[in-house]
Structure 1
Amino acid sequence: MSTLPKIEPADATEPTAEVLAEVKKALGSVPNMAKTMANSPALVRGWLALSGALGGGVLPAPVRERLALATAEYNRCEYCLSAHTFIGSKVAKLDPDEIERARHADSADAHVAALLALSDTIARGRGTIDGAALSSARAAGVTDAEIAEVVGNLALNILTNYFNILADTDNEFPVVAPHEA
């Protein structure tokens, strides 16, 4: 059971109703995470703004979904693993092997693998990485814009992972459990 109440759009008052309408307009539906985040309309707006901005960046949706899967696995967030496995499969059209590889910060695509390795290194180092990791990413063709957006996606994914773990958000997606540690 969730540790924070879920606010249904039909029951919401302003400004919560307005922000949930923004979520529905942006996503086509209002996931339980947004309903739970709606305890703070400012948080929902921040999540939507960062997600929308990164959606217009250089990293395409299938890469962003892989980054989300790797971070959710690392942080052991069942809600985000479930959501991004579903979105990765149905929307980004990732095959099951690529979804599984992403959970291990890997990809059959060398460039995507370099992005995932970089994100994983940043997460595990809490922002600190050595020059060799950055050189390795650049040698694989990772651009400065991609490096910056990896950090942005990592921040977005840590936000949603930590929120959903703390809130114990009710999972409306087919359940995907983290691998055993």
Structure 2
Amino acid sequence: MSRLASLTPATAVGASKDLLAELVNRHGQVGDMVAAMAHSPAVLGGYLQLSTGNEASETQPMIDLGLRVYREPASISDEHIAGLRAYGYGDREIADVVGIVALNILTGAFNLVAGVKPDEPDR
């Protein structure tokens, strides 16, 4: 059982109501985590922007950056960024990696606090 009530377009207010209504119109429903995030329009809006605005690159230098951002962000140096640029990555791709890591931290932490269990993968 979720620790935070799930909101719907009918029970949410303000920006959250609009965001949930748009999601329901597009997908038919929303998951428990998103419905609980609707208590904070800032969290819900930020989560949706991060989750729809980022496409992860699956090449090793970007994976290494993501791990470094997660594990030891203070260790990222000008040389690390210059190395990514040498592979052809620009500001957007580098910023996207930070957003993806933040999205995953937000998702995991929110689920733990709200008591939302992740959906089981389709088998």
Q: What is the Cα deviation at residue 13 of structure 1? A: 4.4
Partner of 2:84: 137
Corresponding residue pairs, total: 121
| 2:110 is the alignment partner of 1:157 | no
1:172 aligned residue (97, 115, 119): 119
Return the offset for 1:121. Answer: 0.7
How many Å apart are 1:34 and its aligned residue?
0.7
Which whole-Å CA distance do the structure 2 matches of 1:144 and 1:115 have between them? 12
Partners of 1:49 and 1:130 lie apart in 2 by 27
Structure 1, gaps ≥5 residues long:
65-106, 176-181
2:2 match: 2
Q: Kindly state the Cα deviation for residue 117 of structure 1 after the two structures are TM-superposed.
A: 0.7
Matching of residue 34 in structure 1 with residue 34 in structure 2: yes
Residue identity in the other structure for 2:4: L
Question: Given that residues 121 and 133 in structure 1 are in contact (C-alpha distance below 8 angstroms), is that contact kept between their aligned partners in structure 2?
Answer: no
TM-score, structure 2 length as denominator? 0.73
Question: Taking every aligned residue pair, what percent have the same amino acid on both sides?
Answer: 34
CA RMSD of aligned residues (A): 2.8
- CA deviations over 1:51-72 (Å, ceiling 9, x no partner): 34x24xxxx4xx26xxxxxxxx
Structure 1 length-normalised TM: 0.53
| Rounded Cα–Cα distance in structure 2 between residues aligned with 1:150 and 1:10 | 31
Gaps of at least 5 residues in structure 2 are none
Instruction: Determine the structure 1 residue equivalent to 2:65.
Output: 118
Q: Give 1:18 deviation, angstroms.
A: 3.0
Report what 1:14 is aligned to: 13
Tell me if the contact between 2:2 and 2:115 (Cα under 8 Å) persists in the aligned partners: yes
**Matched residue of 1:164: which SS?**
helix
* Mapped partners of 1:128, 1:22: distance in 2: 40
